[in-house]
Amino acid sequence: MSMMNIFNVSGSAASAQSQRLNVVASNLANADTVAGPDGQAYKARQVTFQTELMGATANDAASAGVRVSTISEDQTPGRRIHDPKHPAADADGYVTYSNVNAVEEMVNMISASRSYQNNVDVMNTAKSLLLKTLQMGQ
């Protein structure tokens, strides 16, 4: 039943995409946070995907799932805005915000949700085909 593996493959991809969506959500939520007491503002995070072979045997290259290999932090400096009256302003009167780019995050979000939908479609098709296979010969 090699089709049963489709659920593993598409399921792993859907889970990886939902993790990506989760990271996008925390980036967007922190888009306007300022530097905390330690002087470090929130840094935008990015997930990196990696292929994961999930066939029955080690050299079965046909079913390739996905997993999140790393979540890396964007190291570009945060936005600095001159606002001396802000309670978080430094000695020069600058406030450091997080380095989240809201436009990039929105694009990332749409891409993640499209990929998620694709994988759900694949699982639905595989399910209906398997159900029809189970009725074979009747």
Partner 1 sequence: MLNRLTDSLDFQAQALSLRSERQRLIASNIANADTPGYVARDINFAQALREATGSGSPAAVLRASAPGHIGGSGAGGHSVSTLNFAAPSQTNLDRNTVDMDRERASFADNSVKYEATLRFINANVRTTLSAITGQQ
Q: At what angle do helices 5-29 and 102-134 cross, to 10 degrees?
A: 160
Task: Provide the minimum distance between the beta carbon of 108 and partner 1 in the complex, in angstroms, as a whole number.
Answer: 10
Interface pick for partner 1 out of 48, 71, 72, 84 (rule CB under 8 A): 48
The reply to whether 2 sits near partner 1 by the rule CB under 8 A is yes
Q: Which of 17, 99 has the CB closer to partner 1?
A: 17
Which residues in 28-37 are b (16+ Cβ under 10 Å) and which e?
bebeeebbee
Interface pick for partner 1 out of 59, 70, 91, 103 (rule CB under 8 A): 59
Task: Provide the minimum distance between the beta carbon of 73 and partner 1 in the complex, in angstroms, as a whole number.
Answer: 18
The structure tokens 């470090």 sit at 40
List all residues 6 or more positions away from 80 whose beta carbon is below 8 Å from its beta carbon.
94, 95, 96, 97
Hey, which residues between 74 and 113 contact partner 1 (CB under 8 A)? 111
Number of C-beta neighbours around residue 93 at 10 A: 12
Binding residues for partner 1, rule: CB under 8 A, are 1-3, 5-6, 9-10, 12-13, 17, 20, 48-51, 59-66, 111, 115, 118-119, 122, 125-126, 129, 132-133, 136-138
